[in-house]
Amino acid sequence: MKKALYFMPDISGFTKFVNNTEIEHGIHIIAELLELLIDSATINLELVEIEGDALFMFTSKIPDYGQLLEQTTAMLKKFHKHTKSYESKRICNCGSCRTTTNLELKFLVHYGDLAFIKVKDIVKPYGKDVIKIHSSLKNKVPVNEYILLTNNAYDLYKDNVDETWIKINESYNSKQLEYFYKNLENIQNNVELVDEKNEIKNKEISKPSITIKEDFDGNVQEIYTYISELKYRHLWDKEVKKIKFDENRVNRIGTQHNCILKVGNLNFETIANTTSDDLVYGENTKDLMFAKNFSYLIKLHKIDKNKTKVEVNLYLELNTLGAFMKSNIYRMIKKIWKNKLFELQLVLKNNSQIL
């Protein structure tokens, strides 16, 4: 019978979620990481199934010991580079986003027979060896990031393994299991981010062109969710007919979206102000008529549980023609943003059950 190496990268480490935003963001973050792992495959791995936070993969082109370790090392490095990069770019403080850097990755490897089952048009590996690798998920390895070899996989590579591999015996469903693991926790510590100062658009402008301040009846976190979650933008920004954005990604610094207006459209990029202790959300565009550049930052300061001070700072760099109409442009933009804030207060009053 044909042989296969069964391979399972498994993500763990998220906190328990308590609200819809955290659950939704957690799903998006895990999906990004699983896609990254799939794209990082270098040993002809075929994806069988996504199983929660894990990938079930196999290859009939059996890699040598060095290739197997290179695969796990490459995946771990990309995994932690992504989570560390996410931390530097995130704008959300929900449980999922806040604990992304706590995520961990382990690998389970088994060698055995390759048999398939076909149900309708679905063909998948099937049999006792598929059961064996899934059984190894219930192991009691005392470290958080590792590669585990079942006894069959260890026999395949036993001429290459060194003293860093540790043997464990334990029982599972009244059966004795023997496996070997190698601690990979040191890899995360060696992952360094490239300096991204030029890539991350943190807005630090000394003086805004226009400032609008209002007190809102509403919880500061609830208001922040409405302004930072693009799926809610249509509720309070009536200047926009439609917003095109990637619904499978969490909004963060550098995220881009397209606002379809009654006439034309504007491409925006998410920015933030890291110097503020308050919640701050902002965007930047170079598409605004009569302007070389336009940015806004919305700063939310908590007064009490259900009272928030909202400060909108607008930054306009007008082109030559815009400079001639500066007063009219400022007056128009200020009116537009006053209307946005009015609509946002109506949303808070009438639609808080959405969150």
Cβ(179)–Cβ(135) below 8 Å: no
pTM here is 0.87
- Domain ranges across the chain: 3-189, 210-354
- CATH for 210-354 is 3.30.530.20
Give the model's confidence band at 273: pLDDT under 50 very low, under 70 low, under 90 confident, else very high: low
Q: What is the pLDDT, as a whole number, of residue 224?
A: 95
Q: Stretch 75-95: mean pLDDT, rounded?
A: 92
Q: Does the pLDDT of residue 198 top 50, yes or no?
A: no
Q: What is the pLDDT, as a whole number, of residue 14?
A: 78
3-state secondary structure of 200: coil
Cβ atoms within 10 Å of 290's Cβ, excluding its own: 17
What distance in Å separates the CA atoms of residue 92 and residue 251, rounded to the nearest whole number? 8
β-partners of residue 300 are 279, 310
Nearest to 311 by CA among 269, 284, 278, 335: 278
What distance in Å separates the CA atoms of residue 136 and residue 96, rounded to the nearest whole number? 27
Give 3-189's CATH code, choosing from 3.30.2320.80, 3.20.20.10, 3.10.20.90, 3.30.70.1230.
3.30.70.1230
Q: Stretch 157-163: mean pLDDT, rounded?
A: 94
Q: What is the pLDDT, as a whole number, of residue 192?
A: 78
Q: Does the pLDDT of residue 203 top 60, yes or no?
A: no
